[in-house]
Amino acid sequence: MTASRFGEAVEIVLQHEGGFVHHPGDPGGATKFGITRETLSRARGYPASVTDVRELTRAEAVALYRRLYWDAVRADELPPGLDLAVFDLAVNSGPVRAVRMLQTTLGVPADGLMGPVTLKAAGEADLPQAIRRLTRARLGFLGRLAAWPVFGRGWRRRVLAVEQGALRLAFSSPPHSRSV
């Protein structure tokens, strides 16, 4: 296993997430650093208030991203670039959906579990092609959501920026670190 790229990936996610937002059209409700009230409640083990979300620290948000998203999709075991693409997808659409979309993209059974079959397929994949296919699947999914007319332009910009970052990572990594 290679060194974790979590630090770099979470910085990219945080650039897109920003600070406290409570948009009436956002089904996630109040968020800060992209962490929703529901996610904060689950992580803390009690119902979080809007004030709790507003007071969330960057350090706690990063820790939650590590535990609930990066580790949940076993991103440390994914090839460079694909780790970022799957992580950012998990942040926006949940880890299980992210893994299922990756599995569909890789042509393996889509059970939502990041296991040895998925990790092997990811390690053997043509990374640029897998990243681009995952991006298209993600945009297709987002485009079917009811909130697309309100948030679609920003979502599309984010997904395409993450794709570019993921491709840079995939192309800049030494060939020996591209496999799991």
Domains (range + CATH), the chain:
6-178 (1.20.141.10)
pLDDT digits (tens, 9 = 90+) for 130-154: 999 999 999 999 999 998 999 999 9
pLDDT digits (tens, 9 = 90+) for 77-131: 999 999 999 999 999 999 999 999 999 999 999 999 999 999 999 999 999 999 9
Q: How many residues does the chain have?
A: 180
In angstroms, rounded to a whole number, what is the distance separating the alpha carbons of residues 36 and 30? 6
What's the pLDDT score for residue 59?
97
In angstroms, rounded to a whole number, what is the distance separating the alpha carbons of residues 1 and 16? 28
Task: Tell me what the pLDDT averaged over the chain comes to.
Answer: 92
C-alpha pair distances (Å), 170 with each of 41, 100, 123: 35, 21, 12
In angstroms, rounded to a whole number, what is the distance separating the alpha carbons of residues 148 and 145? 5
Decide which of 180 and 13 is more confident. Answer: 13
Decide which of 51 and 172 is more confident. Answer: 51
pLDDT bucket at 69, cuts 50 / 70 / 90: very high
Instruction: Give the type of residue at 114.
Output: M
**Three-class secondary structure of residue 150 per DSSP:** helix
pTM of the model: 0.91
pLDDT bucket at 3, cuts 50 / 70 / 90: low
Residue 1 has pLDDT above 80, yes or no: no
**H-run or E-run covering 158:** helix 148-172
**H-run or E-run covering 90:** helix 82-93
Q: What is the mean pLDDT of residues 51-71?
A: 97
